Each structure stands twice: as C-alpha cells, then as structure tokens.
Amino acid sequence: MNTATKLSGFALGLAAVFGTAYGVGHLAGPVTPAADTRHDPAGAAHDSDPPGGGPAGATAHLPGGLLVSDRGYTMQPVDAPTGQFAFRIAGPDGTPVTSYEVAHDKRMHLIVARRDLSGFRHVHPELSADGTWRVASPLGGPGVWRAFADFTPSGGDPLTLGVDVAVPGQLQPRPLPAPATSTTVDGYTVTLAGTPQPGRTSQLTLTVSRDGQLVTDLEPYLGAYGHLVALRQGDLAYLHVHPEGGPGDGRTPAGPAVTFSAEVPSAGSYRLYLDFRHGGAVHTAEFTVLAGDVPPAPTTNPAAPAPTADAGHGAPGHGHN
Ligand SMILES: [Cu+2]
C-alpha cells in the first residue's frame, strides 16, 4: 500500500503536465477549453493551439468515435473473406488514405466492442498498398459491433471514426456489469482508484497485482505501461488515454500503478478497458464506472413496444425461433 500511495503522489505531480499535453485532447477530442476546470498553470499551450487544429465546425466538441465521417475522412468497411475484417479510410478527395503517422508504435489502432459493451478487442491491422486495412476478425460473435479506427493521417490531426458492423446470429445481450473498483483478468487483480468527473480532468490509477503480489515489472505495450479506453454506455462515445510518462524515460516505474488523466464528456455509465502487458501477453481489465450524477434508470418504459421492434422478429405473436 505504501508503494501505491507513493506512486499516486508521483502521478499527481505529473498530472499538470499531462493535462495540457496529450491526455485531455486525445481523450475528449478537440475540447473547447473550459477555463475553470483546468489544473495546469501553463495556459499558453491552449492559447496557441487551436482546439483540434482543424476546422471547428459542429463536430469539434464531440467525443471521438461517434461519427463514421469527420473532417473529410470516412471509415468504409470492405468485403473480406470469412474470418477477416477489412476497411479503408477515404480521405478528403474520396480516395483511400495510404499514408499515416505512427502513433504509439502503430499507424492504425482498431478497437471493437459489441453495442452492449462486451467483447472489447484492440488490434492492429496491416495496410495494403491500395489503402485497405486487414486483420483477423476481432468480432467475437453475433450482434451489432462498433468498430473504431484510431489513427492520424499524415500531416493531419488524430481522428477516431466509428462504424457499426452486424454479425449475424442470435444475440443474447448482456447487462452492463455493476460498477466495481476491482476486477480480475488472466489471474491478475486490477484495482481502480479515482472517479471520472464529467467535464473535468480526473486521475484514474489502476494497480496490478498477481497472487497477492504487486506487479512491478509491467512490460511496455505500444510505448506505454497501459492503454485505457473508455466507452460511454448508450452511444459508445470513445475515449482513449495514455499515461503520462512511460518506459525508458527514467522516471516512470513499471507498475504496479499506472495513472491516467481522464476527462469524460458527460455524466453516465462508462466501461473502462485497461490494456497492459505482463508475462509476454496483453491483458485487458474491464471496469464499469459511474461519472457524475447518473440519471435514475427508467422505471416503466413508456416506449414499451420498441424492444419488440428491436428484436427484429416482427410482431409479438410471431414468437421466437
Ligand atoms: Cu493500438
């Protein structure tokens, strides 16, 4: 516990730097700075840096991943052989983009989750010369999936586009797991300290242990000791943050704690996915968190007929096969 406490203080010291630089911008997209919520004294970075860099437009305030087309770039799924997932990014001139910046070791990060927030995967497709990205399909079963392409076109701004992909078959939707501050994955226990707050930056510290021992030799994964993705329940707004500091910088320990500065765009339920690497494998720890005052769940839904339509099996009298 002493170690964790100490690291936590360490991380807070870094937060001021991080809040300005990468975290908030990448997390919540091109955010219009909310003056009263910034912790950093170095406001100059905001003043000299137009939010998002690109045309502001109506979408500039949106979290990532909600749009299939943004700032001239469009995500286009492509027919692929069974077991493969393929897509292109069409650029402003309509042709597939073939040149990308490397961000966190990769030119393309593809994240998928089912619309019920289950089945999260984070994979890295290969780019063909014609601009098609291909990867062994990460879609783990029937249902409607959201696929997020997280990338930076050469010379452009970071973008996350999202598209729905349907996988045929019978879906058994899973309720969102209850909020918790501890979870287990692959024999690891991961605890979460901190609560995301809508509209302002919060520290989230994830601490990894195994068999009761704190893990202090996390392995670099894509240039960091952890990657944190948050998806908002209801629309799967996409937030992706990296910790400030990382492997090889001489000041960032390899665990057991990894701290992120995170800003969520609204009150609500979020599913957090922490990717970390240890023992030669990548593990994903998942948490449900509530941000802010979450509106009470609807009691009797006045739109009761809707679920029948959503089920896709026609009128109630038809029953199910
Ligand atoms: Cu990635």
**1 CA → ligand 1 middle, Å:** 31
pLDDT for 313:
40
Which of 10-19, 63-72, 267-276 is predicted with the least confidence, judged by mean pLDDT? 10-19
Mean pLDDT of 68-89: 96
pLDDT for 191:
98
Which of 22-26, 198-202, 304-308 is predicted with the least confidence, judged by mean pLDDT? 22-26
**53 CA → ligand 1 middle, Å:** 23
pLDDT for 199:
87
Which of 107-121, 172-186, 286-300 is predicted with the least confidence, judged by mean pLDDT? 286-300
β-strand 132-136 against 84-90: which pairing, if any? antiparallel
Q: Is residue 288 a contact partner of residue 274, using CB atoms and an 8 Å limit? A: no
**190 CA → ligand 1 middle, Å:** 20
**56 CA → ligand 1 middle, Å:** 26
Per-residue confidence band for 244, with pLDDT thresholds at 50, 70 and 90: confident
Measured at the alpha carbon of residue 89, what is the angle toward residues 88 and 95, in degrees to the nearest 5?
95
**316 CA → ligand 1 middle, Å:** 43
pLDDT for 310:
40
**37 CA → ligand 1 middle, Å:** 29
Which amino acid, one-letter code, is at 261? S
Indicate the average pLDDT of the chain.
80
Strands (E), 80-158: 84-90, 108-114, 121-123, 126-127, 132-136, 143-151
**Which neighbouring-strand residues pair with 103?**
106
Q: Say whether 18 sits in a helix, a strand or coil.
A: helix
**Which neighbouring-strand residues pair with 228?**
241, 274
**123 CA → ligand 1 middle, Å:** 6
**Distance between alpha carbon 150 and the CA centroid of its chain, in Å?**
9
**249 CA → ligand 1 middle, Å:** 21
Q: Is residue 163 a contact partner of residue 75, using CB atoms and an 8 Å limit? A: yes
**Which neighbouring-strand residues pair with 281?**
278
Distance CA 243, CA 261 (A): 7
**108 CA → ligand 1 middle, Å:** 7
**315 CA → ligand 1 middle, Å:** 42
**63 CA → ligand 1 middle, Å:** 18
First to last CA, the chain: 54
**306 CA → ligand 1 middle, Å:** 36
**Distance between alpha carbon 75 and the CA centroid of its chain, in Å?**
17
Q: Is residue 267 a contact partner of residue 294, using CB atoms and an 8 Å limit? A: yes
Q: pLDDT by residue (tens digit) across 207-218?
A: 999 999 999 999
Q: Is residue 134 a contact partner of residue 86, using CB atoms and an 8 Å limit? A: yes
**124 CA → ligand 1 middle, Å:** 6
Q: Say whether 255 sits in a helix, a strand or coil.
A: coil
Ion ligand 1 contact residues with beta carbon within 5 A: 109
**150 CA → ligand 1 middle, Å:** 8
Alpha helix ranges (H) inside 188-313: 306-311
Q: Is residue 230 a contact partner of residue 39, using CB atoms and an 8 Å limit? A: no
**137 CA → ligand 1 middle, Å:** 15
Per-residue confidence band for 59, with pLDDT thresholds at 50, 70 and 90: low
Per-residue confidence band for 55, with pLDDT thresholds at 50, 70 and 90: very low
Q: pLDDT by residue (tens digit) across 287-306?
A: 999 998 876 554 444 444 44
Residue 30 has pLDDT above 60, yes or no: no
pLDDT for 24:
37
Distance CA 273, CA 125 (A): 20
Distance CA 150, CA 148 (A): 6
Mean pLDDT of 135-148: 96
Top-confidence range, 37-46, 80-89, 311-320: 80-89
Residue 229 has pLDDT above 60, yes or no: yes
- Positive or negative torsion for Cα 192, 37, 238, 269: positive
More reliable by pLDDT, 174 or 310: 174
- What residues contact residue 194 under an 8 Å CB cut-off, 6+ apart? 202, 203, 204, 205
**232 CA → ligand 1 middle, Å:** 19
Distance CA 151, CA 252 (A): 26
**125 CA → ligand 1 middle, Å:** 9
Residue whose structure tokens are 């990769």 = 106
b/e map 108-119, b = 16+ CB within 10 Å: bbbbbbbbbbbb
